[in-house]
Amino acid sequence: MTAIRMGPSAASGERLREDVIRNLAIRYGVPANPVTFASTPETAAEAARAAGRPVAVKLVADGVIHKSKAGGVLLDVGPDEVQQAVERLFAEQEARSVQVRGVTVEPMIQPGPEVVVGALHDPGFGPIVMVGSGGVDVETLGDVAFAQVPLDRDAAAALIDRTRIGKVLRHRFPTGHAQLADLLVCVGGVNGMLLSEPVDQIDLNPVVVGADRIVAVDARAVVRGADVEVAVDLPDPQELYEQLRPAIYPTSMAVIGASTDPRKMGHRAVRSAVEQGFTGALYPVSRSATEILGLAAVRSIDELPKGVDRAVVALPAAVVPDTLRDLAARGTRTAHVYTAGTSDLREAVAGTGMRVLGPNCIGHYTPYSNLTMIGKQASSDERGSIAVVSQSGTYAGDVVRRGNELGLRFSFVSSVGNCDDVSPSELLGFCEADPNTSLVAFYLEDDSDARRFFRLASRITTPVVLFKGGRSAAGGAAAASHTGALASDPVLLRDVGSAAGVVVVKSLDELLDTLLVAQYAPELTGRGLGLVGSGGGVAVVGCDTAFEQDLGLPPLSSATAAALAQYEAPGSSLSNPVDIPVWSLYDDSGSFTGALVEGLAADPAIDFLCAYLDLGTVYDIMDGPEAADLVRALTRDLLTADRAGVPLALVLRSSFSADQEALVRTLRAEAAVHGVPVLESVDRAIAALGRVRAANLHQQHAQVG
């Protein structure tokens, strides 16, 4: 396909005349209505007479983006009426000081459902396409879905089905649905218009869907800047593992800016390594001290051994770039810059071979090297397989501290700040090749690496969870198209994440819940949920959450119903969910909770379980010590039940009193021994189960594909 000629005066961001972009779309196979540009009322009338039927007349004017809202669209105008209609239109617009360039004239078509198809080069996510409900209210309706480019026809059809209008088309206009998928490939396929032409912010709106064909009746686009990156290379995980292993699992470490002052980061970096029992050689570098925490200090980088794995840099911002160059010259393999307020560090290390994490971060935790970024008392020594990468130091510290309380076990947690050199996608690639990591979570605030990140996530086998901050619709106000405005919405993150198999969460609690369930039920893929506990309202909300997560609560088999019948009591329900008052969960012979769990787990329709106990009710009917004993008995019976491999999530519903919270903490540790996660609420537990299942299903389908 020959690229469109923009002319020597075409500037990046300049809006293309509609007939130009419409005719270009037709050349790429887009079924668009033929259009003629007319600069005068007389030439507009000539175009209408040539069409031989009623026409649509649309204003072409500087600064007018949404023609309908500006009164610049005239519909169903007869050929003999066009000249006078255009004269009136020009006069009205010029009276408003609009710089009129002319009009476009095109034949009217039969009405039908209206769809929007858009495409643009997003600064972070790269080339993307959009489809959804079209017309003048496209932004108000917000019924759109996004995908990264290029996409094939199957991906295009799946994208359409993510929208409400897509579901209507599939059932009422199947031919139109199929043609719309073809149109998306014409725009966003590997040889499509977005990647092949110097255009951006394409809007085909509306695309009218008829019984037998679709027609794009309006088109707009702007000239694309030459600096837009059309192709992208993905990092190689094995190469990244070799480069970053010294930063993540160091066997030797220097602290540049080490200090005897406990208030300074350089002191805390040494102290945390010493107290955590760092397994490698540790070299404090300080101009003012000869010894720090019993370790001999050296005065300069020149005194360090060559080839140190990891250098922590805690120095004033102005000297950081030269310090990095000095470290690289000494053969230091990686650096972690804690300092904030530095210039961009990529230039400082370009060509040196040394990789740099940061700047503006608080450190690194890994039980494999006995390193932590926080206090020893909150840092577990137990090794796990969950990695967490965070652009927020606060959240990184939260993950280590709260993870320790929840029983999460990590391969590493790293605070990476601004990611000047090592990008999130490179850290994702490292995790794919890391034998210690089976799941990775990110907290990110910057979209600049989004294109590579999600492309790589879609190609690897390691499950990915993403907690994204700093995303809102505020950027849409300045956009030059419907697509540009809507691409600032969180729906873009949702859709691109979903297509890549990335679990996108909205809070730290959701992140930790997801990691906790994934740690204990890593292969969860079934849909059938068995819910058992005390409290009808809790069960109702649990059912609502299950529906939102595409989980089912299947009816129990006759055999299961017969097995549970002996536990029927006033106020109970023995269907799924099973709801029995807490005072009917035991008798003088002991607890029934284990038998209930075993009965549900044996049902062939049940793939996983969620059980809950209401501690507040137990404490209402018994004194404190007696209540605690009963809660322990009910919980331990649940934990030791023979579940035949069926995963169980447990919710201990505390009233937040000190004694109940202390009991939950003790029982959480016992549950971990039995491979059972303890979560705070039933709705959060079921939502986490659903997120883990969705991630596993995506990985399963990707491996099959």
pLDDT score for 8: 41
Tally of domains within the chain: 4
CATH of the domain at 389: 3.40.50.720
pLDDT band at 477 (very low <50, low <70, confident <90, very high): very low
- Burial string for 329-357 (b: 16+ CB within 10 Å, else e) reads ebebbbbbbbbeebeebeebbeeeebbbb
Query: Quick check: 457 and 428 in contact, CB under 8 A?
Result: yes
CATH of the domain at 71: 3.30.1490.20
Segment 86-99 shows an average pLDDT of: 94
Segment 80-102 shows an average pLDDT of: 94
pLDDT score for 482: 61
322: Cα within 13 Å, side-chain hemisphere: 6
pLDDT score for 698: 85
Is the pLDDT assigned to residue 612 strictly greater than 80?
Answer: yes
In a domain, 19, yes or no: no
Task: Say yes or no: 251 and 393 in one domain.
Answer: yes
Segment 541-545 shows an average pLDDT of: 97
Task: Say yes or no: 103 and 155 in one domain.
Answer: no
Task: Say yes or no: 269 and 169 in one domain.
Answer: no
Kindly tell me the sign of the dihedral angle through the C-alpha atoms of 544, 546, 548, 552.
negative
In a domain, 53, yes or no: yes
CATH of the domain at 148: 3.30.470.20
Angle between helix 682-704 and helix 508-520 axes, rounded to 10 deg:
60
pLDDT score for 360: 96
pLDDT score for 483: 66
Task: Say yes or no: 413 and 267 in one domain.
Answer: yes
Segment 135-139 shows an average pLDDT of: 86
Cβ-proximal residues to 26 (8 Å cutoff; 6+ apart), any chain: 32, 34
Task: Say yes or no: 546 and 687 in one domain.
Answer: yes
CA angle 369, 372, 373 (to 5 degrees): 145
In a domain, 334, yes or no: yes
Is the pLDDT assigned to residue 2 strictly greater than 50?
Answer: no
Last residue of a domain, one of 429, 444, 462: 462
pLDDT band at 486 (very low <50, low <70, confident <90, very high): low
pLDDT score for 411: 99
Segment 159-168 shows an average pLDDT of: 96
Segment 260-289 shows an average pLDDT of: 96
In a domain, 494, yes or no: no
* Rounded CA separation 334/350 (Å): 13
Is the pLDDT assigned to residue 702 strictly greater than 80?
Answer: no
Query: Across the strands, what pairs with 444?
Result: 468
Last residue of a domain, one of 462, 484, 509: 462
Segment 223-234 shows an average pLDDT of: 76
Segment 678-697 shows an average pLDDT of: 96
Is the pLDDT assigned to residue 36 strictly greater than 70?
Answer: yes
The rounded percent of the chain whose pLDDT value lies above 90 is 85
Is the pLDDT assigned to residue 6 strictly greater than 50?
Answer: no
pLDDT score for 185: 98
Task: Say yes or no: 444 and 579 in one domain.
Answer: no
Per the structure, the complete domain to which residue 540 belongs is given by 521-704
Structural tokens at position 358: 């940061």
pLDDT score for 656: 94
Cβ-proximal residues to 198 (8 Å cutoff; 6+ apart), any chain: 3, 4, 6, 223, 224, 226
Task: Say yes or no: 77 and 132 in one domain.
Answer: no
**Least confident range of 335-349, 351-365, 465-479, 634-648:** 465-479
Task: Say yes or no: 265 and 382 in one domain.
Answer: yes
In a domain, 20, yes or no: no
Read off the pLDDT of residues 621-666 as tens digits, 9 standing for 90 and up.
998 999 999 999 999 999 999 999 999 999 999 999 999 999 999 9
In a domain, 288, yes or no: yes
Mean of pLDDT over the chain: 93
In a domain, 491, yes or no: no
In a domain, 62, yes or no: yes
CATH of the domain at 666: 3.40.50.261
Task: Say yes or no: 391 and 409 in one domain.
Answer: yes
pLDDT band at 484 (very low <50, low <70, confident <90, very high): low
Last residue of a domain, one of 193, 223, 253: 223
Main-chain phi, psi angles of 116, to 5 degrees:
-110, 135
pLDDT score for 476: 43
* Rounded CA separation 345/329 (Å): 16
Cβ-proximal residues to 86 (8 Å cutoff; 6+ apart), any chain: 38, 40, 41, 44, 45, 57, 74, 103
* Rounded CA separation 586/234 (Å): 58
Task: Say yes or no: 218 and 248 in one domain.
Answer: no
Task: Say yes or no: 84 and 127 in one domain.
Answer: no
pLDDT band at 474 (very low <50, low <70, confident <90, very high): very low
Task: Say yes or no: 186 and 271 in one domain.
Answer: no
Read off the pLDDT of residues 142-155 as tens digits, 9 standing for 90 and up.
899 999 999 999 99
Residue of 175, 363, 379 lying closest to 277 (CA atoms) = 379
